Structure 1
């Protein structure tokens, strides 16, 4: 990935070991982790301060199931691309909360790589391409109807 653009990434995850492992993986893949937040307030403040390109957002944070609200605000107010990371995809709203996709927890390196490729391409893969269970993109139709596209 060294020939591709380095993304500035915010990790929003309240389980510190998961956050540190993800931070390390993202750095190994050539990206800059510009912050780690464990609560919605911290995530929104960091998002405004560090202006990330991408945020990996867990749905359930230290202050409760506030990740969807964080995703909506980061996407709509700050233009941040958001990917959810969750073990419970049922909590993702029908409008996807402004996110581009979801990585299932426990995540895999392959799932994170696919998610990064998807974001960096700026468009969904062709339908005939193989999908994995670790990363599910929401698709361009969903994104056009999301707050992120406005």
Structure 2
């Protein structure tokens, strides 16, 4: 391991955990991947990039199946979900920047031909909810309902049986999005993406943590790759 101070690694750890969970499609396997990465020798770059690089190196290879290849998924997650410049993503994956850009563009194109699913949006702000609907539908999915409260979310989920939930945490007077998700998941197994302005608050190693988190504000591509991984990642071998 290089000379990165433990306190610096701790500050970078939530981002590595989010990346690893999105790669594998599950909390447990993602956290196990981070544990493996922490036992490796880290490259001599910033702590956050070093952890990303170790996670990518520790991730087992798999057949890509439909959609982006394994390498393209890494690049999509690093640039869209983790908000890295393409040069930093290329450094994490030990690629030439030009090659990384070609693979990233190919991955973006592959996202547009993936299978669709039914999505429940849990969001109490009407304008944001409509924007999320537009983005979800642009990704090729179908929005089967928009819920502004815990009770409405549970009711729609029970009736529509969505294949994916996109949820805000703070629903104002309507309650808590994480509570709504917990109630829904007691009755059905469904992947969830949380949308929040404070992702680090959901990765504290305390209580039950989400697998997929998108930071507000986010780019459409971040939602596209997160929905792909949420729907496909949890039912396939890790990339």
Please, which of 118, 130, 150 is the counterpart of residue 8 of structure 1?
Answer: 118
Q: As a proportion of its length, which structure holds more helix?
A: 2
| Alpha-carbon contact 1:13-1:57 (below 8 Å) kept | yes
Question: Partner of 2:131 in structure 1?
Answer: 21
Question: Partner of 1:67 in structure 2?
Answer: 177
Tell me the TM-score normalized by structure 2.
0.48
Q: As a proportion of its length, which structure holds more strand?
A: 1
- In structure 1, C-alpha distance between the alignment counterparts of 2:238 and 2:224, rounded to whole Å: 14
- In structure 1, C-alpha distance between the alignment counterparts of 2:182 and 2:163, rounded to whole Å: 15
Deviations 1:54-78 (CA, angstroms, capped at 9, x unpaired)? 0011000032651111121222322
Choose 19-28 or 72-81, whichever is displaced more: 72-81
1:104-115 superposed matches below 5 A: 104-115=215-226
1:125: how far off?
A: 5.9
1:91: how far off?
A: 4.2
1:90: how far off?
A: 4.5
Work out the number of aligned pairs and report it: 125
* Unpaired runs of at least 5, structure 1: 127-150
* Unpaired runs of at least 5, structure 2: 1-110
Counterpart of 1:9 in 2: which secondary structure? Answer: strand
1:121: how far off?
A: 2.4
Q: Higher relative contact order at CA 8 Å, sep ≥6: structure 1 or structure 2?
A: 2
Matched, 1:84 2:194: yes
Question: Partner of 2:142 in structure 1?
Answer: 32
Computing the radius of gyration from Cα coordinates, the structure with the larger value is 2
Matched, 1:116 2:214: no
- In structure 2, C-alpha distance between the alignment counterparts of 1:15 and 1:96, rounded to whole Å: 25
- In structure 2, C-alpha distance between the alignment counterparts of 1:17 and 1:48, rounded to whole Å: 25
* CA RMSD, Structure 1 to Structure 2 (Å): 2.1
